[in-house]
Amino acid sequence: MVSLSTIVIVACVGLTANATKLPEIALIIDDIGYQYEIGRTAIELQQSFAYAILPFSPYGQGLARLAKSLNKEVMVHLPMEADDNNHLLGPSALRLNMSRREIEDTFHASVAAVPYAVGINNHMGSRLTRERVHMNWLMHVMRERGGLFFVDSRTTSASVASDLAHQTGIATATRDIFLDNLKTKTHIKEQLNRLVAAAKLNGRALGIAHPHVETLEVLRNWQPAKVGIRLVRISEYVKRGRNNDESMSNADALLASDTPKCGNQSNNANPAQDPDI
Ligand SMILES: [Zn+2]
C-alpha cells in the first residue's frame, strides 16, 4: 500500500520537475503612452505581460499607475536615435551628438517620468545602440542609480547594448521575436508560434509586441500553458538569464544549426520588416 506521504512527495517532485522544465517566455508590450484606450486595453489583458512606457507621453504616468494597480510590471521605453525616422523618437531621446552629462541627465529625467519602472528597453535606437561609447555611458549611469535591468530591443543586429550592460554588471536580456512587424492576425499568430518554438529549442525566449488592435486580439486568446509554456514576469526572466544561458549551450547550438528561422534571424532577414520600434 502506498502511503499518503509517498504520494505527496511524488506529487511535489513531479510539480517541481515540471516547473523547472517548462520553457519560459516573457513578453513586453511597448510604445505605451500616446493612446489611452488601446494602452488601457493592453494593460487589462489577463496575462503577466510587461508594459514599456514612453517617458513624457501624455498618458504614460496614468497608464503606469494602472499597470501597477493590476500587478503588472512597468518599464521605461527609452527613445534612442535611429538610422531613420527620428521624427518618431518623441521627447527625451538619447542622441549621438549628446555629451556624457546630457545622456546621464536625460536618463535620470526619463526614469523619473515613469513611475514604478523596474527596467528599461530601447525605443528605436538602431543608430545609438551600435555606439560603444554612448552605451557605456548609459550602462554606467544605470549602475550608479541601481535597481533597473536593461532589455535590448535589438532594433539592429549590430547592437552592443546588451553586451555592454552585461560587462557593466547590469542584469540584461535580449529580444528574440517581434510579434507584430506586420499588423495582421495571421502574421502575429505565426510570430507567436515562432516565439514558442524558440522557447522550446532554447529553454526561453523574449518577445516584444505593440498596442495594436490585432496584436491584442491574438494575445487575449493566447494560453501559454496549453502549448507547454510558462509565461514569466520580465524581471524574473532577466534575473534567471545567466543560469539559463550557461545551461542551455547545447540548445543554443541546436537553434543556430537547425534553424527554423526565428528571433532576430527571421526579423532581420527582411530589413523592410524590421521596424525600428
Ligand atoms: Zn518603441
CATH number at residue 89: 3.20.20.370
What is d(CA 272, CA 158) in angstroms, rounded to the nearest whole number? 16
The pLDDT value given to residue 15: 46
Q: 160 or 253: whose pLDDT is higher?
A: 160
| Rounded distance from Cα 97 to ligand 1 centre (Å) | 21
| Rounded distance from Cα 204 to ligand 1 centre (Å) | 22
Domain range for residue 50? 23-273
Residue 12 lies in a domain: no
pLDDT digits (tens, 9 = 90+) for 112-154: 999 999 999 999 999 999 999 999 999 999 999 999 999 999 9
The pLDDT value given to residue 13: 44
Residue 220 lies in a domain: yes
Residue 14 lies in a domain: no
pLDDT digits (tens, 9 = 90+) for 22-77: 999 999 999 999 999 999 999 999 999 999 999 999 999 999 999 999 999 999 99
Residue 7 lies in a domain: no
User: How many structural domains compose the chain?
Assistant: 1
| Rounded distance from Cα 133 to ligand 1 centre (Å) | 22
Residue 1 lies in a domain: no
The pLDDT value given to residue 90: 87
| Rounded distance from Cα 277 to ligand 1 centre (Å) | 4
pLDDT band at 241; cut points 50, 70, 90: confident
Residue 63 lies in a domain: yes
| Rounded distance from Cα 258 to ligand 1 centre (Å) | 31
Q: 1 or 159: whose pLDDT is higher?
A: 159
Burial of 163 (0-12, 13-18, 19+ CB in 10 A): middle
| Rounded distance from Cα 35 to ligand 1 centre (Å) | 13
Residue with cell string 510590471:
73
